[in-house]
Chains A and B, each alone.
Chain A
Amino acid sequence: MRIFKETHVPFVKHNKIALSVSGIAIVLGLLLMIFIRGLNYGIDFTGGSLFQIEFQKSVTTAEVRSALATQRLQNAIIQRSAGRNEYMIRLAENETSADIPARVSAALASLPDNPFSIVKTEKVGPKIGRELRVNMVKAILAALVVIGIYISVRFQLRFAVGAVVALIHDVLITLGLFSLFQLEISLSVVAAFLTIVGYSLNDTIVIFDRVRENLKTKRFDAIDVIINTSINESLSRTIVTSVTTLIVVIALAFARGEVRIFAIAMIIGVLVGTYSSVYIAGPIVIYWQKLVNLKTK
């Protein structure tokens, strides 16, 4: 089977539209993150405690909350797992004192005739939370720097610029969507972000590799023509790999808990990453080239 025989889509021609769409999306995302909704950090990063409780009989969120109120824990964030008698109870940073687990148990025991079991608890102190947050930022920055250096050595500086801009684009857009849907950012999500970085880069490099090859064979073509040809030549591979990766991450999204959120991050990432390697990375190389040419003139 073959989806694409030989394509001649003028991807580069639409780069102004693509760049402005992405630019607007990033700005909106940043506004959302900084001024409006913020990011929904999990307790890994804020500190606090979390309890996953399984009840034997069904119970409403309001009932759980009023039960928690008996121990003055009504400020908890209470989340029900879809289709199950299972709740996630999250308590804020200043409530990490040692007696919290006992208080939660006592509060829930006040629900009449409904035995429960605590299937998971997590408690993260504020100092650890801060450290994990710092480490997360460090990891992402380190990844970007290392990747940038590698590409400048293996390719050229202009390609490194294109690749790194595309990666920052992917992370910012994914973060924006996380802010929009208020998805929780946990340690696994950070792992997902880094995987997205790796994946999107994979796509970008495959295209750049073609560009490098075509630069040798088609010396007289302009850079934008070469980039466009290269994107078209790699298009079939780009789509096939995205499809197989999407198949597994969509399957993963049917799991529960952290893996599910990880999978959601990956789905967004694969889509955005594929888009950015086709529409963002190439054009950035072209614009960077024009900028450099202007300066040297």
Chain B
Amino acid sequence: MFKKTIVRFITIAVAIVLACYSLWWTVAYNMMSPDRKEELRTAGRLKNYEDRIIRLGLDLKGGMHVILELNLPKLLESTASNTDESFQAAVRQAEAEYIQTKADFFDIFERIAGEKNLRLARYYNKGVFKNSEIVNQLREESKDAIQRALEIIRNRVDQFGVSEPNIQRASTYRIIVELAGIQDATRARELIQSTALLEFILVKDAQITQAFITAVDNYLKTGQKEAAVKAGLTPDTTVTIKESKDKAITVDDLLGKSALTETKPAEQTTDSTVIVDEQIYAERPFSSLLRNISGSIGVPEQNVYAVKKILADSTVRRLLPFDSRLLWSAKPERMTTREGATEKFYILYHVDREASLQGKYVTKAQESYGQSGSTAANQPIVNITLNNEGAKRFSQVTGSNINKRLALVLDDKVYVAPFIRVKVPHGAAYIEGLENMDEAKGIAIVLRAGALPAPVDIIEERTIGPSLGRDSIIISTRVGIIGFCLVILFMVIYYKHSGWLANLALLLNVIFVLAILASLRATLTLPGIAGLILTVGMAVDANVLIFERIREELAKGKTVRAAVDSGYSRALSTIIDANITTLFTAIILMQFGTGPVKGFAVTLFWGILCSLFTAIFVTHTIFNYVNDRKVLSKLSI
């Protein structure tokens, strides 16, 4: 019996230790000074904390929540080759009906077109003639349009400097965008809705880029101390310093001549396993943060912030040749290091200030497989078709820049930068050397994004100022603590010493729920806090049921030990029945609820489960322990 109690105590202790560890990150993060945060951020380590803390919802930290919907009527009109009044009337009617029902827009449109004897082939040159076939093509096109919109928004969103932007498809034609800490809703709205800019820009020669990097190194070295302080990089806080096994990072290596011969960067492994080497750091404060990824400048993910900080320095900006600019790759590359670990790298491109070609000239972009006999036989490629004017310009650009790289840039982010192999005279080119079909698809979407705008409407928008969020946290915490204390007081008055046991269970309950939220990376919202406070009130219920049963059993004249045992066993089925049904409602809320309601449901759900554990397991163990030590003749209940 005693041994069993020991095992139970160990289980409880482990649960408490785990919960405290899980919450420690949140506490440490919130106690940290802003300077220390900045220091860790520059060293790329703050993410360790940010991944583990309890995340606050937009309603608590302020921010913007937007739901966008593809404007299907607008899309229909803009893709039609010609329109007339009866076509527009049909679109308007479909639109009006769409707002009222849940039916699919295209089904409605097809039906209305049928009712009005509208032959859609008159408006769309799609090579098919039946209304139903045309509508099916339009439906596919709008799915593509929402993909483009999603890509554009994802690509742009870090212009806001938001720490964890949440962008996701909500349904077929909808996108949810959540930006924490955004104050200027108007600017955010414009950025989300404005048309994307697609450009083709020539990448600068490696020598020019190397000269710039060396200049930055020299500037930082001479002004070492000031610059280091400015950049938040002091040698003793530059973390992740390991003993270098491979001292091969030299400036020459960083951008070697190999740049012109490499074709498939993804197959290469990076030449360094070290993030910052102390010695090299002192010699070359800038280039030591960079890696040569087969001729491109790779920046390990954790160094990105530090590099951006250096590049933002006003002197460094003046060192950059005036006819050029630096652009980041849109997505990180995953590389395998020599040790076999995968690291994420962003590529920094040094490109011309002026674009060589605008993306609006692209008429078609389609992923496919290379023809047999070509260099890209059976490899994924992207075919590009340009209109007449574009073809003329492209022919000039490609003709005079063979073996240079041409970056495909969407809203200042580089997607791919292939080498120009041959002159493209007639406006039909292809990009080869892609890793897989998914990458080809992604690039085709980006190429279409510049030419075919995807009209999106904001159908729901919520912004919460940061002060309101802070107020909410303060008030709800205060209210929660007051409620908590009152419940504790009540339980002690009503159940005397046993009341303290219930209160212990209550306290553990709150700790467990918060710890679970932190480790699940769930988001705490204002309704979530309300849910937590509510579970405080409801969590005592399990103990109340047990205590009342024990009182009844004691009144029947049972011994303390027997009364406790039968109290627990008889209350058990009631507790489970009663809590399972509440669990059901919590699950249903998670299913149907949106945003804040979901946050409430999540805390309610875990609150119930934790209260089952604390009431059935924790308090029972303590009762048993007390009973094991000596035979009680009276129970304070």
Contact = CB atoms under 8 A, between A and B. Distances in A.
Interface of A: 1-2, 52, 98, 101-102, 117-128, 130-132, 134-136, 138-139, 142-143, 146-147, 150-151, 154, 187-188, 190-191, 194-195, 197-199, 201-202, 205-206, 209-210, 213, 233-234, 236-237, 240-241, 243-252, 254-259, 262-263, 266
B468 A52 contact: yes
Nearest to A123: B461
B483 A195 contact: no
A37 B601 CA distance: 31
- Chain B interface residue bracket vs A: 35 or more
Contacts of B592: 135-136, 138-139, 142
A125 B544 contact: no
A191 B597 contact: yes
B475 interface: yes
Contact of B476 (A98, A121, A259): A259
B74 interface: no
A255 B540 CA distance: 22
B482 A262 contact: no
28 contacts: A120-B463, A120-B465, A121-B461, A122-B462, A125-B69, A127-B459, A132-B594, A139-B592, A142-B591, A195-B534, A198-B585, A202-B538, A205-B574, A205-B578, A205-B581, A234-B548, A244-B487, A245-B541, A247-B483, A247-B486, A248-B487, A248-B534, A251-B486, A255-B475, A256-B471, A257-B472, A259-B476, A262-B527
Contacts of A143: 584-585, 588
A252 B483 contact: yes
A160 to B, nearest CB: 11
Nearest to B502: A244
Given A202-B579, A241-B541, A258-B527, 15 more contacts: A117-B467, A118-B463, A124-B459, A136-B592, A147-B584, A191-B596, A194-B585, A201-B578, A202-B582, A205-B581, A241-B538, A246-B537, A251-B480, A251-B482, A259-B526
Contacts of A130: 99-100
B590 to A, nearest CB: 10
Nearest to A262: B530
Interface string B528-541: 01100110111011
B186 to A, nearest CB: 7
Contacts of B375: none
Contact of B585 (A119, A134, A197, A249): A197
Given A1-B494, A205-B574, A188 B527 contact: yes
Interface class of chain B by DSSP: helix
Contacts of B487: 244, 247-248
A127 B100 CA distance: 7
A183 B121 CA distance: 53
B265 to A, nearest CB: 44
Contacts of A209: 573-574, 577-578
Output the residue of B496, B534, B600 with the most chain A CB within 10 A: B534
Contacts of B581: 147, 150-151, 198, 201-202, 205
Interface of B: 67, 69, 98-100, 102, 185-186, 457-465, 467-468, 471-472, 475-476, 479-480, 482-484, 486-487, 490-491, 493-496, 526-527, 529-530, 533-534, 536-538, 540-541, 544-545, 548, 551-552, 570, 573-574, 577-582, 584-586, 588-589, 591-597, 600-601, 604
B557 to A, nearest CB: 14
Contacts of B582: 198-199, 201-202
Contacts of B463: 118, 120-122
A248 B529 CA distance: 12
Given A127-B99, A247-B490, A117 B465 contact: yes
B361 to A, nearest CB: 30
A233 B545 CA distance: 11
Nearest to A235: B548
Nearest to B463: A121
B530 A252 contact: yes
A102 B190 CA distance: 13
A258 B491 contact: no
Given A121-B463, A139-B589, A150-B580, A190 B597 contact: yes
B548 A237 contact: yes
Contacts of B586: 198
Output the residue of B490, B537, B578 with the most chain A CB within 10 A: B537
Given A244-B537, A259-B530, A121 B462 contact: yes
A234 B570 CA distance: 13
A188 B596 contact: yes
B64 to A, nearest CB: 9
Contact of A251 (B100, B495, B533): B533
A254 B481 CA distance: 12
A297 to B, nearest CB: 32
